[in-house]
Structure 1
Amino acid sequence: MTTPQKKLISRTASLEQPMLDEHRVLKLEGARNCMAALQLALDAHSNDIRERVMKRKAEHAKALNEEKENQNRIKEEMDMLKKKEIEIVKDIQREAQEREEMNGQIQQYQRQIRSLSTTRGGLIAEIEEYRERIAKQKAVVESEQKTLDVQASKNAPELAFCEQMLGLKLRSDKPDFIVLTFSQIDDRQPDRRFSIELDLRDTDYKVASCDPPPHNLDALIRELNSSRGFYTFIKRLRAAFRGVVVEEKRA
């Protein structure tokens, strides 16, 4: 190789070296820009992924809370339903017991009705018997009343004589009772009162009170109820009162 050729080659090499360095710088700068763009893209993608993860995490947490609330609500509803079920069971048991007691009462009432139906005939017969007795008693009372009326008409003049001559007075302080009061029996005290109250509510005479009571008063009443002789009873009662005075004088 000649000297001029060597110089030409050397000159050409010296010119190409700066061009190569500039090309490398440009290429390196481009690579850096690409790396920066890639880094930005990666950062954006990472941020997007992070935001999605956070969003999904928040949604998942919200869903878990809602699910928990739903479970709590369902549990409360189930507890309430269980309580209602227990109350319903108790109501059913109580109604069953009440129904059983009611059936027992109904059966008891039915037995009582059958018993009453069985004795109804006997009761009707007894009622009829009592009616017959009452009718007979009424007839006896009416007959006795007629007898008393007849006797009263006969005794009226005699009673008037007794009131005037024997100091006898009759009065009635209440219905169906008569009081006989005697005076002029005790010669020591002519105005002294001897009285007896007779109960006329029944067929037979009864003594309601007597002052003073003679010792034979019961016998006098029995004789009066047997004979119905009222005037005779008055005379014998007066004699009995005189006997009381005699006994008092002897005492």
Structure 2
Amino acid sequence: MSARRSSNFTPLPPQPALLPGGGAGIAHTPRRTPAHNNIVGATPATLHKIHPNTADLSLAKLPPSSSSQQQQQPGTSQQPLPPQPIVRLSRVASDLYHPSLDFASLQARIRAYNSAFDAYVSDQLLLTEQDKTDARTELAERQDKIRAVRRELERQSRSQRELWDTVNDERAQDKRLKNALAILTSQHAALSDQLADTQAERAEVQTRLESRRRVKQAQRNQLQAQRAQNAPELANLQRVLGCRIERRAPKVATNSSSLSGGEYVRFSFGLLARPALSSREGVASRGMEEQDDEAWFVLDVSKPTYEVPEHFPPLPPTALANLLSELNSTRALYSFIKQMREALREETERGAL
């Protein structure tokens, strides 16, 4: 039972002062009077005043032992025991022993609490049963959905197998046309593998190919326009200086791996021997096919840094390295071509001596 204080609790009256040297909670015991000795059943050990809101823990006073009685001298009168201290209990414990404490209100509250708790338990049991029923229903619905999804997956698997059969038939037809579609064989095989995918992906691939085709066409048009613009200048260089510019691989095959792949431009120079004016006019009047290349060099333009993998006649390594260093630092290609022509001309004249 809870030690809650009742509503009709009466506070304790003022207590007497503590005994000198006594501990906390020990009150002074009033002196016994003859009126206290008239209590029926009282013994000398219990004849003292007890406050109604206090409890005496010394009531169970043991009688003197037989050994002490034997030690008492015969003929001596028994002296009254000294007053015993009263040990006060806590306020809550003293309330429990209060004769006017009423538990009716507390019991009524306990009964009301029990009724409310029973009603709460009943409601929760009903709600739990309802939740269990709802959970079973939801579980059954989910199982039905799972079975429906499995049936749909089986149907989709059959459709996919039929679609793969169709794809295999189309692959067989593509093989018969590979001579005409040799360039697009890998792309067509990739598209055939992706035929089971969505139409949106195939549309995206087609859009990408169309965009690439437009870019290639734009580059082709730009190159044609640039070629048409450079044609008169190239013809003038060929007529006056005997210079031809061609896009090709190096003429002399070597074991160096730097010559494999890449983009190479070959510059050929004629009219380097400084012939007489009449001879120069005669040579200039001939076509390109009739002129012999006196000097040439190949320029590698496939890398950010220009390189000259081949040239004729051979130049000193130091001179060629200086020219390439200046080209890569200034990016002045026209000046480099003129300097290379001058260096090749000097080397040709030096070899002719």
TM-score category (smaller protein): 0.3 to 0.5
Greater RCO (CA < 8 Å, at least 6 residues apart): 2
- Please say which structure displays the higher CA radius of gyration: 1
Greater share of helix = 1
